[in-house]
Amino acid sequence: MNILQTEDTICAIATAQGGAIGTIRVSGPEAITLTDRIFKPVSGKPLAERAPYTLTFGHILTPEGEIIDEVLVSLFRAPHSYTGQDSTEISCHGSSYILQQVMQLLIRQGCRAAGPGEYTQRAFLNGKMDLSQAEAVADLIASTSAATHRMAMNQMRGGFSRELAVLRDKLLHLTSLMELELDFSDHEELEFADRSELEDIARQIEQVIHHLVDTFSVGNALKNGVPVAIVGETNAGKSTLLNALLNEERAIVSDIHGTTRDVIEDTMNLGGITFRFIDTAGIRETTDTIESLGIERSFQKLDQADIVLWVIDATCAEEQYRQLADKILPRCEGKHLVIVFNKADLLSSADVNTAVSTDVQLTRLKTALPDLPEDACVLSLSAKQKEGLSQLQKQLVDFAALPDLSQNDVVVSNIRHYEALSRALEAIHRVQDGLAMQLSGDLVSQDLRECLYHLGEIVGGTIETDEVLGNIFKHFCVGK
C-alpha cells in the first residue's frame, strides 16, 4: 500500500465480529457518492444533499433492488471528519454475511478495501493529528488498565505533543540567537545573547528531555507489564509457581528434571499493575544442546527483568543457594530480588505447624545463606498447595512502585519516541559542552539543528519516507 495514495475511496468493517451491530467506514473523495449508490433513504433527499453530522435511516440495496439490511448512515464532510475527508459510517446488523455483502457492494461501486491503520494514517497525512497522537490511537485500543488508558488518552489529546512544542520553541529561540550571531559575526559590537543566557536555555531544555527519557521505564512497565523473571534450579517449582500465580495450567509441571526448555511468558494484573511473568528453564550443568539453549535464554531474561524471583527448594535450600549464588546474584544488581523458599509444606511438621515456627525456619535459612544481599526479600510458600501466595503478590506490588497517573501526566511508553528523545538528549549535551568550551557558533548550531530534527521525528515533522510511516501504521487494526 502506498501511504500517499489518499485520493481513492476506502472502506472497511470497523467493529469486531459477534456484536449486535456492525459498522462499515467509508472515507475518500467519493465516499458520499458511492454510499448513495447502494443506499436508499426511507424518506427525503439522498446523502449528497444532506447536511453533515446527520443520521439517515434507510436500506442497503443490491443493483437488482433486493434489500440487504435496514441501516443508519452517519454523514461527515471534509475537513470535519476523523480522516479529514468526506466520510460515511454505515451501521448494520452485526451478521458477518450482511457486513460482507455491504462491503462487496461498495467495492463493486469503486471503493477499495482499506489496509491496517489506513484511516488514522489519512488523519495524520491530512493534518488532523501528529504522528505521536496517531500512534496513541493504537495504544488506546490496546489499553488493558486504567493507567495505560490514561497514558494513551493524554497522548492522543496532544499532551505529549504540547510538551514537545514547548521544547521546540525554546530550541528555535536558542538556534535563532546562535545563528544571528553567525550572520553578524563581523560586527563584534553586536551581542544578541551572552553565553550564560544561552547556557541557561540549554540547561532548561536538557532537563525537560532528560525527564521525558526517564519516564520511559515507568511507561514501558505500564504498557507492557513489569518483567518478572522466575529462575532457579530444575524441579525447584518454578512452573508450579507460575501456574499458581496465574491460576491456570500455563506451564507443564513434572518431576522430571529439565521439563521447561524454553521461556514461557504470561501476564496478570495485581493491584492495578500488569506483571509479565517469565518462567525460565531450570539452571543446571547439562550436555543436552536444547536444554543448554534454554538455560542461556534464562540468563538473558534475568538480565531484562526488573524483578527476579529466585525459586529454591526449601528442603535443600542451602545446597541450591550455594550452587547458583555466583551465577544469579551478580546479575541481580540494580534489580529487586525475591528469594522464594518453595515446597514449605514438605518441611518437617515441627518446623511449620505454627506461624512462629515458620518464622524460626525462615530465620535459620536466611542466616545460613552466605552473601545474601541486604535488600533481598525472602519468603516461604508452597506453590503446589497455593499457600503464601498473597504475601508474594503484595511484595511484587510494593517492588513495582508505579505511580498513579492522571490524564495530564506526560509519560513516554513508545520505544520509537524513547530512541528519538535519547538522540535529542545526546545532541543537547553536545550543545552544552560546546557552549562551555566556547566552540564556534556554527558547530553549536549544527547540534541544535540535530536536536530539533530528533524531536521532529516524534511528531512527524521531519518524516518523509513511505517506509517509516508504513512501518508505524501496519501494526494498526483494519478499520482504524
Report DSSP letters for 346-375, one per residue.
Answer: GS-HHHHSSHHHHHHHHHHHHHHSTT--TT
Handedness of CA 336, 337, 342, 347 (dihedral sign): negative
Percent of the chain with pLDDT over 90: 25
- Average confidence (pLDDT) over 56-77: 95
Whole-number pLDDT of residue 181: 65
SS3 assignment, position 274: strand
Confidence class for position 475, pLDDT limits 50, 70, 90:
low
Threshold 0.75, pTM exceeds:
no
| Location of C-alpha cell 484511516 | 119
Asked if residue 412 lies in contact with residue 212, where contact means CB atoms within 8 angstroms, the answer is yes
pLDDT digits (tens, 9 = 90+) for 15-24: 988 889 999 9
Q: Write phi, then psi, for 275 (nearest 5 degrees).
A: -115, 135
- Average confidence (pLDDT) over 460-466: 55
Confidence class for position 157, pLDDT limits 50, 70, 90:
confident
Query: What is the maximal distance between C-alpha atoms in the chain?
Result: 91
Asked if residue 37 lies in contact with residue 108, where contact means CB atoms within 8 angstroms, the answer is no
Whole-number pLDDT of residue 332: 83
Whole-number pLDDT of residue 254: 44
Calculate the CA dihedral of residues 464, 468, 472, 474 and round it to 10 degrees: 110
Cα separation of the two ends of the chain:
15
DSSP state of 283: P
Give the whole-angstrom CA distance, residue 304 versus residue 299: 9
H/E stretch holding 341: strand 336-342
pLDDT > 90? residue 105: yes
* Range picked from 143-152, 153-162, 342-351 for highest mean pLDDT: 153-162
pLDDT digits (tens, 9 = 90+) for 407-422: 667 788 888 889 989 9
Give the bridge partners for 23, in sequence order: 91
SS3 assignment, position 12: strand
pLDDT digits (tens, 9 = 90+) for 131-149: 888 888 878 877 777 777 7
